[in-house]
A and B are shown apart, each in its own frame.
Chain A
Amino acid sequence: MIFFKRVMWLVLLNLSVLSCASQQSPQENNLYQALGEQQGISKLVDQLIVEIVADEQIFPYFAKASVSYFRKGFINHMCAISEGPCEYTGDSMVDIHTGMNISEGDFNRVVELLIRAMESTGISYPVQNRLLARLAPMREQIIKR
């Protein structure tokens, strides 16, 4: 199945490059793959959860949430925004984070925990930045709500 998908990806990618119809560079299309696909993203989110649990500033926000629900939702979301073969089915960023009153500093702290998780799961610096570039525009939907 995965093999078939890869072939499909490459065929589609080559077609779009050859036809010059592509709006996005092949590198951008590949973010999901650069993150290590489903397995890499799961590993990353698991490590992020470890970081969150150990963090004095951030853990209080999660104290009442369900780990398995968050894990599933976050993996699904990350897969979707990295243009993997997933459709995000959770609530909107605004709905999830409303009532939490997340500050700018809290948001940056989560970004730092994510960077740490990416480092310890071996994601390269350029790939880290490409993922952060997708997440940064969501800040307005998440903080101070």
Chain B
Amino acid sequence: MKAMKRLLSTWLLCMPCVCFANGKILATPGVSQVEGAGGGGIVPWAQLAGYATEDEIAGSVFCSTAQVQDFRLKSCGAQINFYDRIEVSYAKQDFDVEPLSLTLSQEVVGMKLRLYGDLVYSDWPQLSLGVQHKMLETPDIAFALGAKEDKGTDVYLAASKLHLGAIAGYNFLWNATLRYSSANEMGLLGYGGTEGNGALHPELSAAILLNKHFAIGTEYRVKSENLAVKESNWHDVFVAWFPNKHFNMTVAYLDLGTIANIDGQHGWYVSMSGQF
């Protein structure tokens, strides 16, 4: 909550200089990731959120919801992109555990630094380094399952590239992320545990732009199993719609596998973002 207020005030401060950043080509920044970073839906990408180029500041807000068999995740937040160099992000996650009629909540504050390149123009892929600091507000269940911490910091390196006209004239985008995380189920079940203390894992995304407004793609995120309860890798298939530079919407089919030993967690994901 404090972080949210801080974010809002920074934002209001910046308002006079934010005159609709729109220097980037439509759809190239991607969408908003559930932990708040610019990315795909479940993987943070090397691109920074929003349409800012070197001399612009962009702000974005988003809300996403994922409904699978026995759980529902709501994640809302915001990003500010300073000069296409630094992205600062915030997300508030609420995770409804339907069989227990309870909600787990956490906050994620993120930062991403573009180290090299441009998604579209550079010879080599765009490269960014990011951190996500997560604070679980409801740690009781996590500790009961054997988690060690109620806070954790993920660090990731992401590379992405758009290949113009690469597949029969259609644009092809890929992103590969290597993330160090000790989180259990993104942190909603705490950090670390009896079986491990986190590890380095790959996360992959690929998409094709069907035209300038629609992209279809898929993502895969490898996760650790630190607790005695089973945790699965995540996978999704998505369609993203970019009607203009101020709004986009993503719908995805999610396969989250087993969460806390409850199998068959697949379902739908819907996300909307606004940019200025």
Contact = CB atoms under 8 A, between A and B. Distances in A.
Interface in A100-135: 103-105, 108-109, 111-112, 115, 124-127, 129-130, 132-133
**DSSP class of A's interface residues: helix, strand, loop or mixed?**
helix
Q: How large is the interface on A (under 10, 10 to 19, 20 to 34, 35 or more residues)?
A: 20 to 34
B198 interface: no
B23 A104 contact: yes
Contacts of A72: none
**DSSP class of B's interface residues: helix, strand, loop or mixed?**
loop
A140 B56 CA distance: 20
Interface stretch (B59-67, B126-134, B168-176): B168-176
Interface string A64-104: 00000000000000000000000000000000000000011
A136 B164 contact: yes
Nearest to B211: A125
A104 B21 CA distance: 12
Nearest to A129: B165
A124 B165 CA distance: 12
A108 B53 contact: yes
Contact of A130 (B22, B24, B120, B165): B165
Contacts of B164: 129-130, 132-133, 136
B169 A103 contact: no
Interface in A45-72: none
Q: How large is the interface on B (under 10, 10 to 19, 20 to 34, 35 or more residues)?
A: 20 to 34
A104 B170 contact: no
A112 B25 contact: yes
B216 to A, nearest CB: 14
Given A108-B24, A125-B212, A136 B121 contact: yes
Contacts of B123: 137
Interface in B151-168: 163-166, 168
Given A104-B23, A112-B25, A129 B54 contact: no
A125 B171 CA distance: 10
Contacts of A112: 25-26
Given A112-B26, A129-B171, A136-B120, 7 more contacts: A103-B23, A105-B22, A105-B23, A125-B212, A132-B165, A133-B165, A140-B121
Interface of A: 27, 103-105, 108-109, 111-112, 115, 124-127, 129-130, 132-133, 136-137, 139-140
Interface of B: 22-26, 53-56, 84, 118, 120-121, 123, 163-166, 168-171, 211-212
13 contacts: A27-B169, A104-B84, A105-B54, A108-B23, A126-B168, A126-B170, A129-B164, A129-B170, A132-B164, A133-B165, A136-B164, A137-B121, A140-B121
